[in-house]
């Protein structure tokens, strides 16, 4: 099983945080994760992240690739807000800089504030998404591309720069809703299992993904990548006490952004943190965390991105949790026990 570090929580910080100083802490966090044996780092993308500020994904991961060693680099990008030629060149550049260890997880996005700021109508986000990734893959062949779609037009555009990974870097589809998961299955795309849904929803959606792929005659992987919120402490009560204010604050912001509207109707964010956390967050002592993670392994998850630090949390607490995880939980997952 591949185990990675999500930087989205540590990368977002409250207004007023000195982001240059915090950026130095992110570098240290990645270096420690590398030395502890984590397999990859992950960063998601958002714009206009009030009440938080966030370093942008592609330049941040480009810099962090110098610290990552043998770790893979995974980025979730808001595909409908990108221009395909720029996206193809940026992604090929990162693939080259990382020595072929770059993975893209494309997301639709769900926030009107982002779509409005980019002057993109969210009604067309799915067709923009599909056109964009279609063009990107064509550009990566090195052949001239002529494309006349609903959103993008080009004649004889030829991209000479090619990614190391051929025919293209791995491309996942990050999705919350049933319809997006079905779209991934029908288009031979690996579904990046979202970090927000609870366990029963994920279990049901994995079955939906596999059933849809079989019915469509698609080839999809038996095992899937996933993101999850996790905080481990040797004392269960202390783990909850430390994590709750910061993880709860993050999900308060998600609720204001409308993140839970992207979830299926039977899985919405609860009012109390205890109810929200149930079957959704992994918080506790090492035994608790290992037991919870093995439930997802049994569903066919073989690559998991763990977010252990959230906006406003002292990075030192996140580092302690990361070290405890590497010392106690990681060996259990590695040996499959």
Residues 202-232: tens digit of each pLDDT: 999 999 999 999 999 999 888 999 999 999 9
**Could you count the other beta carbons within 10 Å of the beta carbon of residue 66?**
11
Residue 251: both structure tokens together:
């999900």
Instruction: Say which CATH topology domain 2-334 has.
Output: TIM Barrel (3.20.20)
- The average pLDDT across 265-282 equals 84
Q: Which of 219-223, 260-264, 306-310, 316-320 has the lowest mean pLDDT?
A: 260-264
Can you give the pLDDT at residue 133? 95
Beta bridge partners of 52: 14
**How confident is residue 255, by pLDDT bands cut at 50, 70 and 90?**
confident
CA distance 256 to 111: 10
Can you give the pLDDT at residue 268? 75
**Could you count the other beta carbons within 10 Å of the beta carbon of residue 310?**
25
Rounded to two decimals, what is the model's pTM? 0.93
pLDDT reading at 61 higher than 80: yes
Can you give the pLDDT at residue 335? 79
**How confident is residue 182, by pLDDT bands cut at 50, 70 and 90?**
very high
- For 31-133, strand residue ranges (E) read 40-43, 52-54, 72-78, 102-107
Q: 46, 54 in Cβ contact below 8 A?
A: yes
CA distance 206 to 266: 16
Q: Which residue has the tokens 């025919």?
A: 167
**How confident is residue 33, by pLDDT bands cut at 50, 70 and 90?**
very high
- The average pLDDT across 308-313 equals 96
Closest CA to 39 of 101, 116, 100: 101
pLDDT digits (tens, 9 = 90+) for 123-168: 999 999 999 999 999 999 999 999 999 999 999 999 999 999 988 8
Is the dihedral angle over the CA atoms 60, 114, 172, 307 positive or is it negative? positive
Cβ neighbours of residue 13 closer than 8 Å, sequence gap 6 or more: 19, 22, 52, 53, 54, 311, 312
Q: Which of 110-114, 155-159, 224-228, 273-277 has the lowest mean pLDDT?
A: 273-277
Closest CA to 207 of 187, 228, 191, 188: 191
Can you give the pLDDT at residue 327? 97
- The average pLDDT across 295-324 equals 96
pLDDT reading at 285 higher than 90: yes
Q: 167, 147 in Cβ contact below 8 A?
A: no
Report helix angle 286-298 to 199-216, nearest 10. 20
**How confident is residue 256, by pLDDT bands cut at 50, 70 and 90?**
confident
Beta bridge partners of 227: 305
C-alpha of 35 from chain center = 22
CA distance 56 to 321: 25
Can you give the pLDDT at residue 265? 72
Closest CA to 190 of 229, 222, 214: 222
Beta bridge partners of 13: 53
pLDDT digits (tens, 9 = 90+) for 66-105: 999 999 999 999 999 999 999 999 999 999 999 999 999 9
CA distance 34 to 300: 25
Residue boundaries of the structural domains of the chain: 2-334
**How confident is residue 272, by pLDDT bands cut at 50, 70 and 90?**
confident
- The average pLDDT across 289-304 equals 96
**Residue 216 three-state SS:** helix
- The average pLDDT across 51-66 equals 95
């Amino acid at each position: 099983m591949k185990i990675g570090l999500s930087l989205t929580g540590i990368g977002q910080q409250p207004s007023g945080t000195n982001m240059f100083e915090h950026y130095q802490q992110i570098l240290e966090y990645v270096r420690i994760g590398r030395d502890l044996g984590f397999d990859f780092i992950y960063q998601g993308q958002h714009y206009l992240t009030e009440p938080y500020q966030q370093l942008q994904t592609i330049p941040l991961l480009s810099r962090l690739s110098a610290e990552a060693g043998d770790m893979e680099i995974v980025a979730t990008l808001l595909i409908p807000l990108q221009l395909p030629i720029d996206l193809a060149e940026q992604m090929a550049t990162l693939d080259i800089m990382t020595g072929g260890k770059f993975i893209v997880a494309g997301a639709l996005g769900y926030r009107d504030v982002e779509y409005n700021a980019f002057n993109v109508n969210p009604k067309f986000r799915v067709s923009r998404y599909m056109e964009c990734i279609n063009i990107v893959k064509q550009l990566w062949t090195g052949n001239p591309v002529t494309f006349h779609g609903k959103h993008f037009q080009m004649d004889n555009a030829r991209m000479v720069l090619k990614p190391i990974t051929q025919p293209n870097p791995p491309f996942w589809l990050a999705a919350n809703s049933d319809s997006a998961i079905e779209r991934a299955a029908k288009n031979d795309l690996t579904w990046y299992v979202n970090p927000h849904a609870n366990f029963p929803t994920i279990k049901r959606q994995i079955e939906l993904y596999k059933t849809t792929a079989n019915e469509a005659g698609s080839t999809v992987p038996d095992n899937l990548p996933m993101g999850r919120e996790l905080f481990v402490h040797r004392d269960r009560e202390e783990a909850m006490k430390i994590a709750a204010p910061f993880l709860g604050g993050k999900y308060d912001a998600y609720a204001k952004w409308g993140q839970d509207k992207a979830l299926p109707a039977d899985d919405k964010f609860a009012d109390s943190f205890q109810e929200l956390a149930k079957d959704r967050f992994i918080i506790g002592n090492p035994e608790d965390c290992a037991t919870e993670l093995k439930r997802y392994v049994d569903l066919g998850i073989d690559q998991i991105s763990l977010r252990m630090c959230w906006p406003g949390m002292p990075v030192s607490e996140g580092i302690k949790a990361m070290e405890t995880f590497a010392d106690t939980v990681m060996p259990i997952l590695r040996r499959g026990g």
